[in-house]
Structure 1
Amino acid sequence: MVTGASSGIGRACVTELVRRDAHVWASVRTDADETELARTYGDAVTVLRMDLRDPASIAACGEKVAAAGPLRGLVNNAGMARPGPLEHVPLEDFRQQLEVNVTGQLAVTQAMLPALRAAPAARVVTVGSMGGRIAGPMVGPYHTSKFALVGLTDSLRAELAPSGIGVVLVEPGAVATSIWPRARAAAEEVRAALPEVARERYAAQLEEAERGAERSARNGVPPERAARVVVHALTARRVAPRYLVGRDAHIAAVLANLPFRLRYRLTAAKR
């Protein structure tokens, strides 16, 4: 089962799993994505309509999967990113970020656990981010969600281990997907909605965040590379609890272990 399967890492995971002769349940949100996946993969993929903000859609998908029999693995991939200075982020936007990236991940896992428990040595693989190791300015809601996802995944790993269900966190750095053009468009909307004083106060950090998004779109690893790591975490006989993907993710892991003052200086969170 792969959530967020319409593009990026999720879509690449579907392709890699089908290549390995797996039958894949793939969740999407739109008619167009459902039609396109069905046309591309045929009977190898069963497309589900799921919105992580809609508990009823999640529960219905869980019931459908469980009714079909054991589920060998779940890939919690779907997510979103909300930019902007925390001083001015609308609280409803902040809640939505956590609803999708944290609460939604747990809701999907809960819904799929009956089918996962029916399979021997099932796995749950969650796609996190290097943004769950270090935090910088202008994407605070996203960082908050990814740090929370680390705690959620670690607790699930401990709780499900006695049942023989493995839980793995994959932490990519920048991946060359459509998230970056969407993030740029969202950043422009956020900038336009800010009061004039906020646009002036945060101008330098907003501009640097936009340049960073452009660099990530240009230099990010292909989604297929991240997908291979996810599929390894699903299928290998022995797996690690966490996997980093990309040079920048490995750098972030090093930065996360630096003394706090130096870490803050390097991530532009100066005191």
Structure 2
Amino acid sequence: MSSKNQELVVVTGTSSGIGFATAKRLAEEGYHVLAGVRRQEDADKISQKNIEAVIVDLTNVDTLKELAKRVKDDPYHRPLRAVVNNAGIAINAPLEMVPLDELRRQIEVSVIGQVAVIQALAPALLASGGRVVNIGSLGGKISMPGFGIYSAAKFAMEAINDSLRREMASSGLKVIMITPGGVSTRMSEQGITTAERLAKLMTPEQHQRHDRLFAAVKAQAEAWASHGISPEKVATVILRAIQDRKPKTRYVVGRDSVLLTRLVRFLPDRVLDRMLRSQMNL
């Protein structure tokens, strides 16, 4: 066995997109990937050499306990090299009308669930001197019209990532944020489906105010789905974050992410507002 074959990596949300591309890339490098999925049918699809599918529901603490037990009781006593916190959802709708249950679901999955994974695997990561790799988003740096719910979760993860990194600095646990721009994944398609479902809940007055915004949100998501960076490109950066001897605290992926994360630091709010509304034809 190579040293990589003797290390585990947990990746959540691996049924498609960044998660699946990352699991595949890490497996090709020789790591044994515990690939989290929510459904058995997805587990059956992704299992292959060096990829062991495990059922992980971020809102179900029992599945996280089982994951921690699987890592602790690994039959080959392989240390946990890293956890890649990738699973999440995207709920996109105007803040005026989004049902509060949808807001709670976004936070439950994309914030509380991420912390739950970290807590469940912290003992194994601390024992191995491992790494937490959180998959953020450009939406965690800049909040576009119609994407406020999703951005709320991603902004929260930026704060959690930074606090965790500072808390654990003396314990040897490295905490890293990956910030992709628009990525061509199934999440964009799911976001469109969710937006279309929520649009049906609006009152006539809300339709008058927000139909154009819903169309813009759908167009933006379609553009990412068609022309965004590939999940494989993000997976390559995640591999670097896991392998670099002295990893950066954050890696930015994609030209749009590099540009906008810089602009948001310098542009006045009103200028940024106009730029984003113009970009979405609002």
TM range (shorter): over 0.9
TM-score (norm 2): 0.91
Match of 2:60 among 44, 48, 54: 54
Is 2:276 aligned against 1:267?
Answer: yes
Question: Which residue of 2 is the match for residue 18 of structure 1?
Answer: 27
Question: Which residue of 2 is the match for residue 182 of structure 1?
Answer: 190
Q: Give the whole-Å Cα distance in 2 for the aligned partners of 1:46 and 1:206.
A: 39
1:182: Cα distance to partner?
A: 1.3
Q: Give the whole-Å Cα distance in 2 for the aligned partners of 1:214 and 1:164.
A: 41
Match of 2:85 among 76, 80, 83: 76
Question: Which residue of 2 is the match for residue 192 of structure 1?
Answer: 200
Is 2:206 aligned against 1:213?
Answer: no
CA contact (8 A) 2:85 2:132 kept: yes
Question: Which residue of 2 is the match for residue 64 of structure 1?
Answer: 70
Q: Give the whole-Å Cα distance in 1 for the aligned partners of 2:38 and 2:204.
A: 36
CA contact (8 A) 2:24 2:51 kept: no
SS at 2:115's partner residue? helix
Q: Give the whole-Å Cα distance in 1 for the aligned partners of 2:203 and 2:65.
A: 41
1:59: Cα distance to partner?
A: 2.0
Match of 1:145 among 143, 153, 156: 153
SS at 1:168's partner residue? strand
Q: Give the whole-Å Cα distance in 2 for the aligned partners of 1:66 and 1:159.
A: 23
CA contact (8 A) 1:63 1:111 kept: no
1:243: Cα distance to partner?
A: 0.9
SS at 2:80's partner residue? coil
Q: Give the whole-Å Cα distance in 1 for the aligned partners of 2:92 and 2:230.
A: 23
1:263: Cα distance to partner?
A: 1.7
Match of 1:230 among 226, 235, 238: 238
CA contact (8 A) 1:66 1:112 kept: no
Q: Give the whole-Å Cα distance in 1 for the aligned partners of 2:58 and 2:210.
A: 31
Is 2:116 aligned against 1:110?
Answer: no
Q: Give the whole-Å Cα distance in 2 for the aligned partners of 1:9 and 1:139.
A: 20
Is 2:177 aligned against 1:169?
Answer: yes
Q: Give the whole-Å Cα distance in 1 for the aligned partners of 2:119 and 2:248.
A: 23
1:264: Cα distance to partner?
A: 2.1
Q: Give the whole-Å Cα distance in 2 for the aligned partners of 1:251 and 1:206.
A: 25
Q: Give the whole-Å Cα distance in 1 for the aligned partners of 2:169 and 2:67.
A: 24
Q: Which runs of 4+ in 1 moved over 2 A?
A: none
Q: Which runs of 5+ in 1 are unaligned?
A: none
CA contact (8 A) 2:12 2:37 kept: yes
SS at 1:125's partner residue? strand
SS at 1:58's partner residue? helix
Question: Which residue of 2 is the match for residue 91 of structure 1?
Answer: 100
1:45: Cα distance to partner?
A: 2.0
Q: 1:189-236: CA deviations, max 9, x gaps? A: 111121121111112211111111111111101100000111110111
Is 2:45 aligned against 1:36?
Answer: yes
Paired letter, 1:267: L
Paired letter, 2:103: F
Is 2:121 aligned against 1:122?
Answer: no
SS at 1:209's partner residue? helix
1:267: Cα distance to partner?
A: 2.2
SS at 1:74's partner residue? strand
Q: Give the whole-Å Cα distance in 2 for the aligned partners of 1:58 and 1:200.
A: 44
Question: Which residue of 2 is the match for residue 254 of structure 1?
Answer: 262
Q: Give the whole-Å Cα distance in 1 for the aligned partners of 2:271 and 2:62.
A: 46
Question: Which residue of 2 is the match for residue 159 of structure 1?
Answer: 167
Choose 252-261 or 70-79, whichever is displaced more. Answer: 252-261
Is 2:248 aligned against 1:240?
Answer: yes
SS at 1:187's partner residue? helix
1:55: Cα distance to partner?
A: 1.7
Question: Which residue of 2 is the match for residue 201 of structure 1?
Answer: 209
Q: Give the whole-Å Cα distance in 1 for the aligned partners of 2:107 and 2:240.
A: 28
1:185: Cα distance to partner?
A: 1.2
TM-score (norm 1): 0.95
What percent of counterpart residues are identical?
A: 38
1:63: Cα distance to partner?
A: 2.0
CA contact (8 A) 1:66 1:114 kept: no
Paired letter, 1:60: E
